[in-house]
Chains A and B, each alone.
Chain A
């Protein structure tokens, strides 16, 4: 994993959460800009998981199976949030997308934690 990328993704997840929260506070559903931001965040997550899994063998971490489970699992919440935000065209759609973005940010931190647990 790349630390800078991971921290950027944590920040992006939280920022998207706040942005969606503001949108929900205004009683608005998600708009195009939010959905595009979610897609960009998801692309970043795919890149991160790809790099992490590719470097897994060289990294000698304590729990490789858990790492792969997280690296794959982290790609799902935004997909669920994106789908539900599209069918739920109310403020609740924004709440759902924001909640999933925060979940992704927290999962990135956990992923980084697992990555740093040395197995050597």
Chain B
């Protein structure tokens, strides 16, 4: 919203830089692709061995896609979608991460969120925090 390409002279203060948002978009696209592809391959080939883990992979992929779309588009619902997706991710990675440490038997196969995303350099934990920080920092009513 605040980054809408309309003539940016209606306010005296500078619009927030577009850079952080764009790097978040790039990282979210990578994770959307990685998690969705992983989920689809797992569900299609070996679904019966660990249904919970594979459904979670697919779900996390869809959430990453939601975050990427929310950050990229500039519709009235975009920010709400991004908030929802980043919030869901943070809750998901914390719940699944904790659960996978407490009860290893329930998560015999890794998901993106297992052990707080250690298989992906902890980016699954870091990304939603960065995303939420950005959404908070760039919120439209920040300086009114």
Contact = CB atoms under 8 A, between A and B. Distances in A.
Contacts of B23: 84, 92, 95-96, 99
Interface in B16-44: 17-20, 22-23, 25-27, 29-30, 33-34, 37-38, 41, 44
B144 interface: no
B22 A66 contact: no
Interface in A11-65: 65
A12 B44 CA distance: 34
Interface residues of A, number: 21
B33 A73 contact: yes
A69 interface: yes
Interface of A: 65-66, 69, 73, 76-77, 80-81, 84, 87-88, 90-93, 95-96, 99-100, 103, 106
B15 to A, nearest CB: 13
A96 B33 contact: no
Interface of B: 17-20, 22-23, 25-27, 29-30, 33-34, 37-38, 41, 44-45, 121
A65 B45 CA distance: 9
Contacts of A66: 38, 41
B25 A84 contact: yes
Contacts of A95: 19, 23
10 contacts: A69-B38, A73-B33, A80-B30, A84-B22, A84-B25, A84-B26, A92-B19, A96-B19, A96-B22, A99-B26
Given A69-B41, A80-B30, A92-B19, 11 more contacts: A73-B33, A76-B30, A77-B26, A80-B26, A84-B25, A88-B19, A90-B17, A92-B22, A96-B19, A96-B23, A100-B30
- A-B interface, 8 closest residue pairs, ranked by CB to CB distance from nearest: A92-B19, A96-B23, A69-B37, A84-B22, A88-B22, A96-B26, A90-B19, A80-B26
Contact of A88 (B18, B30, B44, B45): B18
B103 to A, nearest CB: 26
B26 A81 contact: yes
Contacts of B26: 77, 80-81, 84, 96, 99-100
B61 to A, nearest CB: 12
A5 to B, nearest CB: 22
